[in-house]
Structure 1
Amino acid sequence: METITMKRKSLPEDVVMLILAQLPVKSIMRFRCVSKQWHSLLCSSYFRDLHRSIQDAKGNRHFLISLSHDRLDLCLHAISEDNDDKRPTLVGRITNVAGGHKARLAAPPCEGLVCLSVDEQQSVIVCNPTTREVVCIPDATPHHSKLFDGSLLGLGVDSVTKEHKLVRLFTREGPDSLALPTFEECEVYTLGSAGWRPLGEIPYLLSWRSPALVNGALHWIACAINSGWLCIAAFDLHEERFRPISHPSCFKNSLGWPIMELLEMGGRLCVMHHWRVTGVEIWVLEGYEEGTWVKKHSINIHSIERYHLNELFTHDTHLSTIITANARFCWLSTYLLYTYDPTTGTLRRFDVQSANDYKYCNLCTMSLIPLVDN
C-alpha cells in the first residue's frame, strides 16, 4: 500500500484521506498546494465522494442568502446552520463575470453547484463558489428561443451516471402573466457536453415554482392535461422523461398550486400546504417507491404570532421557504432570516441586512465537485 511521509512518520494513503475528509472544503483547497502527490490525492474522484459523504453525515450545510457585485466579481454570502454570530459571511467569489451585477439564482443549488442567470439576455452560468470554478452554459436552441417567451430551469444530478444536468422548460407565457403557464417543450443539457438536447412536448401544466430534487428526479407541482387534476410530475434525470408520482391527500381539497410548494427535507420529498391563510401543513413522502405520504407537521401562525412572523406567510415571503434535514423551517424577509423548530417552538433570527443586492434563501453544501479538468 502506498504511504505518504509526514515528517518522521508514514501513514497509509487511505488513513490520510480519511483524516483529511473530516476537514472543510476551504482547508482541502489549501492542502492541494502542499505537493503534487497531495494535489493528485485530493483531486481524485474517490476522495471527493468520501469527503462529500462525511460532510453530508455531519450536516454541514449553509443558508445561501445573497449575491452581491464587486466590480467584475460575483460574491456569494451564506450563514451556517449552526452559526452562533448569526452574521452572513463570504463563501465564494467568482471573478470576471460579465453582467454579474444582474445575477439571479436560476435554479436551486445542487451538491454545492449554483446556477445563475447573469445578464439581460439571461445567459446562464454554473459555478462552484468554493472552488471558484465557473462554466458558461450554451444558449437555448434557436428553435426554442424564437417560439417561446419564458423558460424555467432545474439543476440536478443523474443518480446512475453522477452527471449534473440542467433541465429547461419553455412556455409562451412569461412569469408575470395571469394565464396558467403551459410548458410546451423541454430540453436537457449535461454539464461538459456540446449543447442542449430537445426532448419534445411536456404532458403537464407545471407550476412556476422551483423544482425539488429527490431520488434522482426533479419534481414539480403539476396539472394533468387530460384530467385537470393536481398531481406531482417527476422528471427522471437518467431516463430523461416525465412520469407522475403519488401525492398526499391534501391535493384533493386544494384550490390550486398557489398554496402548494414542493421541498426537499433530508433527502425526502415534502409538500408544504398553505391552508386557511393562518398556517402550513408539511407532508413527507416516507416511501418513495411505495408512495406513502405522512403529515409530519401542522403549524398555526397564531402559535408564533408573538414573534411577528405574520408577514412570513404572505405570498411574497413563503416563496423563499426551505426546510432543513432536521425539520427546521426557514423564511427570508427583507432584513432577517428566520428559522423555526416546530418541535421545540424555538425561533432564531439571522441579520442579513449586510448582505446586499439580490437576496434569496436556499440550502447549499460546500463541495469539491469540479467543473473543469484539474
Structure 2
Amino acid sequence: MGLSFLLAVAVKQRGMKRSRRRRRRRRRREMQGWVGPEIPLDLLIEILARLPAKSVMRFKCISKFWSSLLCSSFFCNRFIMMLPSSPRLYMSLLDQANYSKSVLLSSAPNPAASHSSIVFDQDLTIREMGGYYLRAVRGFIGFTVFKKEARIYNPSTRQLITLPAVESNILAQVDKYNISYFICYDPLKDQYKVLCTITVLSEEGMLTIRSERWVLVLESGGSWKRVAKDFHPHFPDPLELTMNGVLYYLAWTDYTTCVLVSFDISSEEFSMLQVPRKPGDVLPMLGKWVVTIDYGGKVAVFDYTYLKETGTVDLWVVEDWRKQEWSMKTLALKPSQMHLVADNRLKPKGAMLKGKIILVPLKLVSPFYFLCYDLQTNDLKKVDIKGIPNRWFRKQAKSFDLEFMDPSENIKYLET
C-alpha cells in the first residue's frame, strides 16, 4: 500500500513537470512570433528628451533611425526645452605660457547664485580647448585663442571646432587691432551664428576708429560674410547680453561717448543708442565701468563706476528703443555691506541671471569668491567658490573667466 502510493505520487509529479515543460515550450514558440505594440514617435521623443545627455548620446548607436532622430534639430531643441531653468557655473582658467594646459571647470547642475558657496566638481577640459573670453549659448561655449582665433566647444558631445579665419583687409594692414567674437542663436531660422567685430584705433588713440563686422552661420559650407558696412565705427566692450533674438553690447565711438549697440540675430541689422549720463559726468572711457544686463525683461546699462567709493550704482533702463527713451534709478548699498566692495576691484558677469548680477574680483586669489547683487531687493551677498585646483593660485601668467550658462547641455553637433 505504501509503495503503490509513493509510485503514484512520483508518476504524478513527473507528469506535472512534463506538462510545465510543454507549456513553457508553447509560450516560447508564441513569444517568437509576438510583436509588442509600437511606441508612438511623439511619445518616444518626450521620453528620450527627459533623459540625461550621456544616455541620449549612447542611444545614437542603437540604429540609423535612432541616430537620425536624436541628431535632428527638432529633437535637439525639444531636449533643451526639457532642461531645468537653473543655470550652471563655468570657469575657464587660461595658462598664458601654454594655452594647451588651460582648464574648464563646471559646478554641479542647478546651482543658485544666492547660495553661500558653489563647488566646481566637474573638469570638462579637453586638449586644444584653451582660450579666453568665455561665451555661452544653449550649451555651446566660445573661446578666443591667441587674441585672434575662435573655437567652439560642446561639453556634452565633446565636439571642438576651430572657426575659419576672417579675411579682413584691416587685419592685413595693421599689427595692432581688437577682435571680439559673440556666439548667438537665431530662434526664427534655428541657426547658430558667430558675430565678429574688428576694431583698429589710430596711433593717437580713439581720434580715428575703423571697424568691421562679420557674421558666420555655423552650418556646412558656412563662410564669413561682412555686414553693416556703413554702420558707425565703434570700439565694442567684450561683454554682451542676448534677449528676444537680439544681441546687445556697449561700445565707444570716442573717448567720452558710450553707446548701446543692438544686433538683430535674424536680420543681421545693427542699431545704436547713446547711453545717457548724469549732469556733470564727463569721465572718459577708461574711467567708466558699465555693462549691459537684463533688468526685469528690459535692456539696462549697469553703471558701477562709483560702487567702491560711494556704494551706489546707476541703472539706465531702455524704455523705448525707437523713441530713445530711458529711465534711471540709483541703488545704494547697505552700510553693513560696504566692506564687501572696498577691498577688491570687481568686474561684472552673469548677464544671464535675471534680476541679478555677479561681481568677480579681477585677481585670482585664494580663497576665491564672487558677490551676487540682487537688483530687485538691493541686497549684496558673498558666495565662496570651491574646487579650483591650488596650483592655479600659484601660477604667475594666468587669466580666468567666469560665467553662468543656461541651459547647460546640448546634444547637437555643429557643422562648419
Instruction: Give your verdict on TM over 0.5.
Output: yes
Q: Which structure's relative contact order is higher, taking Cα pairs within 8 Å and 6+ residues apart?
A: 2
1:163 corresponds in structure 2 to 191
Unaligned residue ranges in structure 2 (runs of 5+): 1-34, 393-397
CA drift at 1:137: 0.9
2:412 corresponds in structure 1 to 370
1:18 corresponds in structure 2 to 46
Alignment of 1:345-360 (within 5 A): 345=379, 347-352=381-386, 354-355=388-389, 356=392, 358-360=399-401
C-alpha separation in 2, matches of 1:250 and 1:71: 40
Structure 1 27/68 Cα, relative in aligned 2: closer, same or farther at 3 Å?
farther
Query: Larger C-alpha radius of gyration, 1 or 2?
Result: 2
1:196 aligns with 2:238: no
2:124 corresponds in structure 1 to 92
C-alpha separation in 1, matches of 2:399 and 2:272: 34
C-alpha separation in 2, matches of 1:303 and 1:93: 40
1:208 corresponds in structure 2 to 237
C-alpha separation in 2, matches of 1:224 and 1:173: 11
C-alpha separation in 1, matches of 2:168 and 2:236: 24
Q: Is the 8 A contact 1:135 1:371 kept in 2?
A: no
C-alpha separation in 2, matches of 1:252 and 1:12: 65
Question: Once the two structures are superposed, what CA deviation does each residue of 1:39-64 show, in whole Å capped at 9, x if it has no partner?
Answer: 33322211211122232xx3131222
Percent of aligned pairs with the same residue? Answer: 18
C-alpha separation in 1, matches of 2:123 and 2:52: 12
C-alpha separation in 1, matches of 2:291 and 2:208: 16
CA drift at 1:191: 1.7
Aligned counterpart for 2:104 among listed residues 70, 76, 79: 76
2:9 corresponds in structure 1 to none
1:3 corresponds in structure 2 to none
Query: Which structure's residues are more often strand, by fraction?
Result: 1
Q: Is the 8 A contact 1:134 1:371 kept in 2?
A: no
1:270 aligns with 2:300: yes
Structure 1 264/114 Cα, relative in aligned 2: closer, same or farther at 3 Å?
farther
Letter of the structure 2 residue corresponding to residue 202 of structure 1: F
- How high is the TM-score relative to the length of structure 1? 0.76
Unaligned residue ranges in structure 1 (runs of 5+): 1-6
Q: Is the 8 A contact 2:332 2:378 kept in 1?
A: no
CA drift at 1:141: 0.7
Aligned counterpart for 2:341 among listed residues 305, 309, 326: 309
- How high is the TM-score relative to the length of structure 2? 0.70
C-alpha separation in 2, matches of 1:180 and 1:301: 41
Structure 1 324/214 Cα, relative in aligned 2: closer, same or farther at 3 Å?
closer
Q: Is the 8 A contact 2:137 2:184 kept in 1?
A: yes
How many corresponding residue pairs?
351
2:265 corresponds in structure 1 to 237
Q: Is the 8 A contact 2:156 2:411 kept in 1?
A: no
What is the DSSP-based 3-state SS (H/G/I as helix, E as strand, rest coil) of the residue aligned with 1:49? helix
Aligned CA-pair RMSD:
3.8
Structure 1 372/171 Cα, relative in aligned 2: closer, same or farther at 3 Å?
closer
